[in-house]
Amino acid sequence: MKHIVIVGNGIAGITAARHIRKLSDYKITVISSESKYFFSRTALMYIYMGQMKYEHTKPYENWFWEKNRIELKYDKVESINIERKNLQLTKELLEYDQLILATGSNYNTLPNINPDIKGVQGLYHLQDLEKLEENTKNIKKAVVVGGGLIGVELAEMLISRNIEVTFLIREDAFWGNVLPIEEANIVTQHLAKMGVKVLINTELKEVHSSVNQRVVSILTSKDEKKDCEFVGLTIGVSPNIDLVKNTSIESQKGILVNEYLKTSEPDIYAIGDCVEHRNPPSGRKAIEQIWYSGKLMGETVAKSICGSLTKYEPDIFYNSAKFFEIEYQVYGKIAQILVANERTFYWGNAENNQCIRINYDAESNSVIGIHALGIRLRQATCEKWIRDKNTIQHVLVHFEDANFNPEFSKPFINAMLEKYNLEYPEKPILIKKNKSITNFISKIFN
Amino acid sequence: MNSNYIFQSSATNRGWLGMMIGSLLIIFYVLLYWFPASIQGLISLTDPISLIIKGKVADQWFFYGFIYTIAILGMGIRMIRKYRHNNYQKIRTISVMFFQTCFAFLIPELLARLNLPYQDFKNIFPLDYAFFFDYNIEKKIAAGTIGYFMLAWGVFLFVIGVPVMTYFFGKRWYCSWVCGCGGLAETVGDPFRQLSDKSLKAWKIERYSIYGILSFSLIMTVGVFYTFFTKESKLFGIIDTNFIRYIYGFLIGSVFAGVVGTGFYPLMGNRVWCRFGCPLAAYLGIVQRYKSRYRISVNAGQCISCGNCSTFCEMGIDVRAYAQKGQDIVRASCVGCGICAEVCPRGVLNLENISTK
């Protein structure tokens, strides 16, 4: 019986294992040095904040693996022998017929910062969380470097423990290299309201430590000194390619794969965060570290291994995040700065931290991307609009179909349409005054 | 929503404080049900209120109804504050506060004052397991028109009200908007919701237990009817219907619904009775599972399997298992409290009544 070995038990590796089991009877082994059982990395912040315990982050109960004949090895892979098709673990040699590398990422560090200073760290692995517990015990002041998704989560975690947080952001506003300025401003202001001290256009220059190698202060790129007992490095993550570095498996920033997720060596595939696509799917980056991409790559590689060679073809781009209280969703493409042949319609309600942005083609009016802050949208509907190249007018008229807010939520669509009609009086959209009981009750409560 | 450090708090993470709260609740129920004389001092404290409402001094049931209502009102206000940004939570909490105060507490006490039969108009058979007991039927018949109305209303709710309302709105219309047990669970019990068991094993036990009790309640009622119409106390000449009735009242009505149902909040979460015991929840659940517009819709791709939804599901549903598969959640046990959708950080879940294709 064919033996499939998967290195890494994150979402990509585990999805691959589950789908190979669905499609075949092969022997499956999953190896991880991080944890015996699959847990959801995205929930680490909730453990720190005491909203969940580690056991809650495990999407499958422990019996699941044995029942599905997926063998879990809590061990470290030291090296790969490509010719003999085996892996050297700490104490044993494991032979494979086909190998899937799903080794994930490591958090980035800064070349000018001594990594041995205590109290300086990023957040990615389960072990980082344990370290974070230790590093932030009874501290008062922290600095978080890097205005991206993990940075804001780390800030929220620290604030939840009443630790004063100074947040260094390289751009003009939070996530300024991704979000258009209006959205970035809403989030940045919200961060300030939540007690985060935001410093924009600021980078980390130096970290100062005490005699016992513990961080005591930092120097910003503006030569401002900030006392702190902890420095969070959240300047992104990079593919973890340690295992393939000294092998014939080709890699650049990540492990290079073709559209079938095959590496340069036969019978070795790579999926998830550790991957760099030689020919990225259209509209996608060569390295795309998103939860669902890992999941999709796992499903794809499972099909290929079980007999039907399948290309990795993600559909319309989407993503989501949460910045303290503000939820964020994106469907399709929203460029940070508007592209020449595109137009944008933006409606925002600063008071409720809400906004909707719809980008569309200047000529055909067809919708290219949709942004939402503080509003939940229905994924299937948004994707259908973009796939079908529906016009912005069509989308606005039918916007209620995409409203995924909880029942009795404050209505926002009419206010949005009114703004549109003000901006484009030549083609106004008929606003239906909704008299339903839902709206009536919502009005009472707002 | 802010549930930070809920697992570090001794009261809400099965710590010594939680065990103490649980023990006190259990002791309270035991004394209230079987040794009311021992807490006569406490009961008498509510005499002034009882005199105003009922025109009589308080008995143990007035006392219980009063503090039950106060608990729902007080913790309801906490609930509304905690979820102040979510209208669904606010409206539903006001709803349970209203039904408890008016329907479960004031109206029955006023009926008593007017010498009419006791009736909680929102309580439904078989949760209201004594509805068809001979003495209740006789009292209502004796009361004339209003008594007949009470009987008709109770039968109407069971036969028409439950299936029709559940078809349109799911069982939530009752369990998390109207019901008194649900009202207590959603207000006083909210800090304990994360303690429900999400394992597959618990789900298996749940199904045996809740449908077992539904069957028990129906068999018991058949026995009651048999005796009522034939005046024969032994069913098939062997089983004493009065004895079954007594056993049901003691084991299910008192021990399970009261002592365990509330006393176990800090141990097994706030819906122990609703999940494992309530025969009405079982009936509502069957309708919800097979013939209802209600479901929790899923934005499948956005799910990051974080597990907040499952953790905070008071009914112990592994919501994440459905969400990460992209499957809408249609489960008999879901009471539609909406907290899974509330705690989801990615806007994946939404409670909806969808018109069927």
Please tell me the predicted confidence (pLDDT) of residue B1.
47
Whether the upstream peptide bond of residue B126 has omega within 30° of 0, thus cis, is yes
pLDDT digits (tens, 9 = 90+) for B53-101: 999 999 999 999 999 999 999 999 999 999 999 999 999 999 999 999 9
Please tell me the predicted confidence (pLDDT) of residue B89.
98
Q: How far is B118 from chain A (nearest CA, A)?
A: 33
Residues of chain A with a CB closer than 8 angstroms to some CB in chain B: 11, 40, 42-43, 46, 49-53, 56-59, 61, 160, 291-292, 318, 320-322, 325, 327, 329, 376-380, 404-410, 441-442, 445-446
Q: Which member of B9, B299, B305 has the closest CB to residue A40?
A: B305
In angstroms, the CA B39 to CA A9 distance is: 58
Assess contact for B216 and B224: CB atoms under 8 A.
no
CA separation (Å) from A307 to A5, A97, A314, B153? 17, 14, 20, 63
Q: What is the mean pLDDT of chain A?
A: 95
Q: Which residues of A touch B304 (CB under 8 A)?
A: 40, 42, 291
Q: Is A320 close to B308, i.e. CB distance below 8 A?
A: no
B35 contact partners, CB below 8 Å, separation of at least 6: none
In angstroms, the CA A335 to CA B73 distance is: 50
Q: Tell me A281's DSSP state.
A: P
Q: Which member of A56, A322, A405 has the closest CB to residue B345?
A: A322
Q: Is B307 close to A52, i.e. CB distance below 8 A?
A: yes
Token representation of residue B278 = 């309530």
Token representation of residue B120 = 């909680």
A362 contact partners, CB below 8 Å, separation of at least 6: A341, A342, A343
Q: Tell me A438's DSSP state.
A: H
Q: Which residues of A touch B300 (CB under 8 A)?
A: 379
Please tell me the predicted confidence (pLDDT) of residue A211.
92
Kindly state whether B325 is in contact with chain A, defined as any CB-CB distance less than 8 angstroms: no
Please tell me the predicted confidence (pLDDT) of residue A445.
55
Q: Is B7 close to A52, i.e. CB distance below 8 A?
A: yes
The reported pTM is: 0.95
- Chain mean position to CA A208: 31
Token representation of residue A95 = 């032979």
Kindly state whether B120 is in contact with chain A, defined as any CB-CB distance less than 8 angstroms: no
Residue A12 is inside which H or E element, if any? helix A11-23
Interface predicted TM-score of the whole assembly (ipTM), two decimals: 0.94
* Amino acid at position B156, single letter: F
Give the residue on A whose Cα is nearest the Cα of B353: A407
Q: Which member of A49, A58, A406 has the closest CB to residue B338?
A: A406
- A211: phi then psi, degrees, rounded to nearest 5: -60, -35
Q: What proportion of chain A, given as a percentage, has pLDDT over 90? A: 93
- A105: phi then psi, degrees, rounded to nearest 5: -125, 170
Q: Which member of A43, A53, A378 has the closest CB to residue B299?
A: A378
Give the side-chain half-sphere CA count within 13 A for B319.
37
Q: Is A59 close to B321, i.e. CB distance below 8 A?
A: yes
Kindly state whether B95 is in contact with chain A, defined as any CB-CB distance less than 8 angstroms: no
Give the residue from B165, B129, B343, B155 showing the smallest Cα distance to B253.
Answer: B129
Residue A239 is inside which H or E element, if any? strand A237-239
Q: Is B299 close to A404, i.e. CB distance below 8 A?
A: yes
Token representation of residue A52 = 């969940």
| C-beta contacts of B111-114 below 8 A and 24+ residues apart | B112/B54, B112/B56, B113/B53, B113/B54, B113/B55, B113/B56
Q: What is the mean pLDDT of chain B?
A: 95
| Contact map slice: B 9-38 vs A, CB within 8 A | 9
Q: Is A59 close to B308, i.e. CB distance below 8 A?
A: no
Q: Predicted confidence band at A345 (pLDDT cuts at 50, 70, 90)?
A: very high
Mutate to test the interface with B, among A9, A44, A51 (most CBs of B within 10 A): A51
pLDDT digits (tens, 9 = 90+) for A381-413: 999 999 999 999 999 999 999 999 999 999 999
Mean pLDDT over residues A373-387, rounded?
A: 98
Q: Which residues of A touch B85 (CB under 8 A)?
A: 325
Q: Is A441 close to B200, i.e. CB distance below 8 A?
A: no
Q: Which residues of A touch B88 (CB under 8 A)?
A: 406-409
Q: Is B87 close to A410, i.e. CB distance below 8 A?
A: yes
Mean pLDDT over residues B176-191, rounded?
A: 97
Q: Is B342 close to A406, i.e. CB distance below 8 A?
A: yes
pLDDT digits (tens, 9 = 90+) for B222-234: 999 999 999 888 8
Q: Which residues of B touch A43 (CB under 8 A)?
A: 305-308
Give the residue from B347, B305, B309, B344 showing the smallest Cα distance to B325.
Answer: B305
Assess contact for B177 and B95: CB atoms under 8 A.
yes
- Does the CA dihedral B40-B41-B46-B48 come out positive or negative? positive
First-to-final CA distance of chain B: 34
In angstroms, the CA B151 to CA B136 distance is: 9
Q: Is B307 close to A407, i.e. CB distance below 8 A?
A: no
Kindly state whether B88 is in contact with chain A, defined as any CB-CB distance less than 8 angstroms: yes
Alpha helices in chain B (DSSP H): 16-34, 40-45, 47-53, 60-82, 87-98, 107-113, 134-142, 145-156, 162-169, 172-175, 180-187, 200-230, 241-247, 261-263, 265-268, 272-276, 279-290, 308-311, 319-323, 339-343
Q: Predicted confidence band at A438 (pLDDT cuts at 50, 70, 90)?
A: low
Q: How many residues does chain B have?
A: 357
Q: Which member of A56, A61, A445 has the closest CB to residue B87?
A: A445
pLDDT at A446 over 80: no
